Amino acid sequence: MTFTNLFGAPPSELAEISADARQFSPLFPGAENLHDLAPGSLKNLAMLAPPGAIERRHSLALALRALAPGAPFLVLAPKDKGGGRLARELAEFGCACNETSKRHHRICSAEADGDQAAIEAAIAAGAPRFSDTLGLWTQPGVFSWDRIDPGSAFLIRHLPEFSGRGADFGCGLGLLAHAILRSERVKALALVDIDRRAIELCRRNVADERAKIVWADARAVNPQILGLDSLDFVAMNPPFHEGGAESRALGLAFIDKAAAMLRKGGQCWLVANRHLPYEAALARNFREVRQVAEEGGYKIVEGRK
């Protein structure tokens, strides 16, 4: 059948999706939120299930609550990223399925049904919560949701006292933003992330009138429309995984976008795993490039426009 509701981006050869399907994944800026739907209101759903166990069960439970009883529900995931557990997890929700395997994915076809108590328990388990360890609101599935990422911690220790207008690309929970906003010389800071959950958490975590929180893919931001042109600084811990695989293109695109948004003399500060070859992209975009620090497999590099 052709699915008119979508969570994530299942491979087109494994699921037939309508060209105007409604998207519900938090990783697609502008998508709707399954949590906001009335129970039983969806007629069908195709889902590329997330890899994290708590996040996946939370997403499955939200879908089962939103789907009408008996509605077609197609769930798939790579075998090594949760696919092997899908059928069992659906059964634990009281939802039987037919399971097949194709192109390294496990595919579960089901008719929506389930144990409401189990569904609500999984929704609660994956909901936002306050972390005493982080001192921030967090949620399973968001980058570094249960610990301080060592790369970000390293960058925070070496940040200069920024001034003027800037941006935090891939802001996550807002850890880096907190450090940047300690400087009274910072006039405005845009927090940009592709993950709706991170953006919602930042709205709880960063209570500063200088912060502008933007749900967007940093690679696709239009600086003029968002008022983010001629910035004085950009700081970032760019992601280097997409769809579970390493992708150096993400960091390279972040660097290109930062250069496009900075004024002459503006600064780009980034932390990255030491093996990632970002220096050539920095040299191409910036007048001056220097390595600030290196430690424990990470490096901090500054580029000046």
pLDDT digits (tens, 9 = 90+) for 186-209: 999 999 999 999 999 999 999 999
- Give pLDDT, residue 249: 85
- Give pLDDT, residue 242: 57
CB 67 within 8 A of CB 45: yes
The 8 Å CB, 24+ separation contacts for 93-102 are 93/60, 93/61, 93/64, 93/118, 93/119, 93/122, 94/118, 95/64, 97/73, 102/14
Residues 6+ apart with CB under 8 A from 47: 6, 7, 8, 10, 59, 60, 63, 73, 74, 75, 76
Please name each of the domains of the chain with its CATH number: 3-125 (3.40.50.150), 129-304 (3.40.50.150)
Give the whole-angstrom CA distance, residue 300 versus residue 274.
Answer: 9
If you ran DSSP here, which 8-state letter would residue 194 be given?
S
Instruction: Tell me the pLDDT tens digit for each residue of 238-265.
Output: 987 555 555 678 889 999 999 999 999 9
Token representation of residue 155: 């960058």
If you ran DSSP here, which 8-state letter would residue 174 be given?
S
Token representation of residue 213: 């929180």
Does the structure show a pLDDT above 90 at 122? yes
Token representation of residue 178: 């907190």
- Give pLDDT, residue 143: 93
Q: Write down the pTM of the prediction.
A: 0.94
More confident residue, 243 or 110: 110
Q: Is 93 helix (H, G, I), strand (E, B) or coil?
A: coil
Which of 184, 223, 227, 218 has the alpha carbon at shortest distance from 198? 218
CA 186 to chain centre: 26
Does the structure show a pLDDT above 70 at 225? no
Portion of the chain with pLDDT greater than 90, in percent: 91
Sheet of 186-193, strands arranged across: 211-215, 186-193, 164-169, 231-236, 262-273, 298-304, 288-295
Token representation of residue 114: 């389930």
Give the whole-angstrom CA distance, residue 221 versus residue 232.
Answer: 17
Regarding beta strands 105-111 and 72-78, do their DSSP bridges make them parallel or antiparallel, or are they unpaired? antiparallel
